C-alpha cells in the first residue's frame, strides 16, 4: 500500500455552533485540523497508509489532537512530544454575504518552536512514497521553515515524490517573506498545488484575466499561471483549484492540472456549502491518491475535484469521504439521492 508522510501543524479548531458569531457563542465546537493533517486524514480515509508528523505538547489537549488522527487511522508514531502549547484557531462560519472569519492563536505552539533534533527524517521516510507539506508550515516560524527544508532534503535523498500546496496566509507572513522562503523550497517539489490567488501572492505570478472577488474563472489565465510556475521551478505537475465564490453559502468548484505540457480542466461543481475549510487540502489528498494509485492525469484530477467537492458538504477540517464515495461522484452521482 502506498505510504505518505505529511508534515505541519494540527490545531484545536474552536467554532461557534451553527452560524453564530464569536460574540454570540457560549459554546464552541471543538475539532482538530490543519493543512497537512487534513491531507493525511483524507488519505487514510481513502485507505492508504498515511503518517502525520508534527510536535505536540504532552498535555491533555495535545493527546486529544493525536487521538483525533489515530481514530481515523492516521499513523501518529512519528509525532514528537513536548513544547508549550497546542495552536488554536477560532472559526466563525459565514453565510450568504457574510464571510467566514478565522482568528489564529497559534504563536508559540510546539511545532512553531520545534527543533531539528525532534525529527529523524531518515527513519520517518523509510519505506514511504510521498511527502507533502503546505506553505502554512514554513510560515509558522523560521524554525518550522528550516524543518521543512530539512524534510525536503531528506525526502529527495530517499527518492520520495514531494508535493507542496502553496497555501498563502496573509496573517502569518508577508508576501515578500513568503516569496523568499518558498522559493528556497520549490526546487525539491515535484507537484505544486495552488489556489487561484496563491501564485500571485507568493511569487507574483498572476492570471491576467481573472478577478478573484467576482469569481470569474478564465481557463486560459490559469493555464498560463501554471505554465509560468512550471517554467520557473521545474515542477513535474502543477494543479490549480478554481473556486468561484458566489457567496459564503454557494461556490462553484473546479480545478486544472498541468501535466508536463498538457493542461486538463475538470468538471465544475456548483456547491451548497456545509464547511469549506480544508477544501484545498482535500483536493491535494485526492490528487495524491489518484497519482499514487495509477490513474492518468485527467482521472486523477477528476478524482481530486470530486473529493474536494464532497469535503464542502462535511463538517470540520477533515474530509471523511471514502474512495468509493468519491468514485461514485466522479461517475455522475451528484444528485444527492438517498442511499438506502
For residue 219, which phi and psi values (nearest 5 degrees)?
-60, -45
Nearer to its own copies, 11 or 189 (CB): 11
Q: How far is the CB of 268 from its own copies (least distance, A)?
A: 12
Nearer to its own copies, 69 or 291 (CB): 69
Provide the grid cell at 11: 490545531
Give, for 151, the enclosing helix (H) or strand (E): helix 142-157
In angstroms, the CA 154 to CA 169 distance is 26
Nearer to its own copies, 237 or 311 (CB): 311
How many other C-beta atoms are found inside a 10 Å radius of the C-beta of residue 230?
18
> 287 Cβ partners below 8 Å, 6+ apart?
163, 191, 193, 239, 257, 300, 301, 303, 304
Nearer to its own copies, 122 or 250 (CB): 250
Residue 7's closest CA among 105, 130, 187, 109? 130
Q: How far is the CB of 337 from its own copies (least distance, A)?
A: 5
Nearer to its own copies, 237 or 243 (CB): 243
Residues with catalytic function: 281
Q: How far is the CB of 264 from its own copies (least distance, A)?
A: 20
In angstroms, the CA 59 to CA 62 distance is 5
Provide the grid cell at 40: 493525511
Nearer to its own copies, 232 or 331 (CB): 331
Q: Contact at 8 Å (CB) between 15 and 93?
A: yes
Gyration radius of the chain's alpha carbons: 19
Give, for 290, the enclosing helix (H) or strand (E): helix 279-292
CA distances from 263 to 9, 31, 44, 222, 238 (A): 32, 37, 28, 10, 9
- The 8-class DSSP code of residue 99 comes to P
How many other C-beta atoms are found inside a 10 Å radius of the C-beta of residue 106?
21
Q: How far is the CB of 306 from its own copies (least distance, A)?
A: 8
Q: How far is the CB of 182 from its own copies (least distance, A)?
A: 18
Class of residue 291 by CB neighbours under 10 A (exposed 0-12, middle 13-18, buried 19+): buried
Q: How far is the CB of 303 from its own copies (least distance, A)?
A: 14
In angstroms, the CA 331 to CA 87 distance is 39
Amino acid at each position: 500500500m502506498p505510504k505518505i508522510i505529511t508534515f505541519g501543524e494540527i490545531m484545536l479548531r474552536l467554532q461557534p455552533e451553527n452560524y453564530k458569531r464569536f460574540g454570540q457563542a457560549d459554546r464552541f465546537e471543538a475539532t482538530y485540523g490543519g493543512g497537512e493533517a487534513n491531507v493525511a486524514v483524507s488519505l487514510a480515509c481513502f485507505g492508504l497508509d498515511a503518517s502525520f508528523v508534527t510536535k505536540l505538547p504532552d498535555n491533555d489537549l495535545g493527546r486529544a489532537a493525536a487521538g483525533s488522527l489515530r481514530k481515523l487511522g492516521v499513523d501518529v508514531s512519528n509525532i514528537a512530544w513536548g513544547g508549550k502549547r497546542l495552536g488554536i484557531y477560532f472559526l466563525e462560519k459565514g453565510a450568504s454575504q457574510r464571510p467566514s472569519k478565522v482568528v489564529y492563536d497559534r504563536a508559540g505552539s510546539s511545532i512553531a518552536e520545534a527543533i531539528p533534533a525532534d525529527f529523524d527524517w531518515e527513519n520517518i521516510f523509510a519505506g514511504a512514497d510521498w511527502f507533502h507539506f503546505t506553505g502554512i508550515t514554513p510560515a509558522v516560524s523560521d524554525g518550522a521553515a528550516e524543518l521543512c527544508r530539512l524534510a525536503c532534503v531528506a525526502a529527495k535523498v530517499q527518492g520520495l515524490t514531494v508535493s507542496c500546496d502553496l497555501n498563502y496566509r496573509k496573517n502569518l507572513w508577508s508576501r515578500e517573506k513568503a516569496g523568499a522562503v518558498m522559493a528556497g523550497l520549490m526546487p525539491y517539489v515535484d507537484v505544486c498545488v495552488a489556489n487561484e490567488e496563491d501564485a500571485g501572492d507568493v511569487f507574483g505570478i498572476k492570471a491576467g484575466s481573472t478577478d478573484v472577488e467576482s469569481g470569474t474563472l478564465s481557463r486560459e489565465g490559469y493555464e498560463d499561471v501554471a505554465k509560468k510556475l512550471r517554467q520557473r521551478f521545474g515542477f513535474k505537475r502543477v494543479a490549480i483549484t478554481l473556486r468561484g465564490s458566489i457567496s459564503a453559502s454557494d461556490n462553484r468548484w473546479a480545478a486544472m492540472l498541468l501535466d508536463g505540457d498538457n493542461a486538463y480542466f475538470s468538471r465544475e461543481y456548483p456547491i451548497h456549502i456545509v464547511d469549506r475549510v480544508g477544501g484545498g487540502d482535500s483536493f491535494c489528498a485526492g490528487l495524491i491518491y489518484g497519482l499514487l494509485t495509477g490513474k492518468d492525469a485527467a482521472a486523477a484530477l477528476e478524482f481530486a475535484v470530486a473529493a474536494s467537492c464532497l469535503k464542502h458538504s462535511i463538517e470540520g477540517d477533515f474530509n471523511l469521504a471514502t474512495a468509493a464515495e468519491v468514485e461514485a461522484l466522479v461517475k455522475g452521482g451528484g444528485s444527492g439521492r438517498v442511499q438506502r
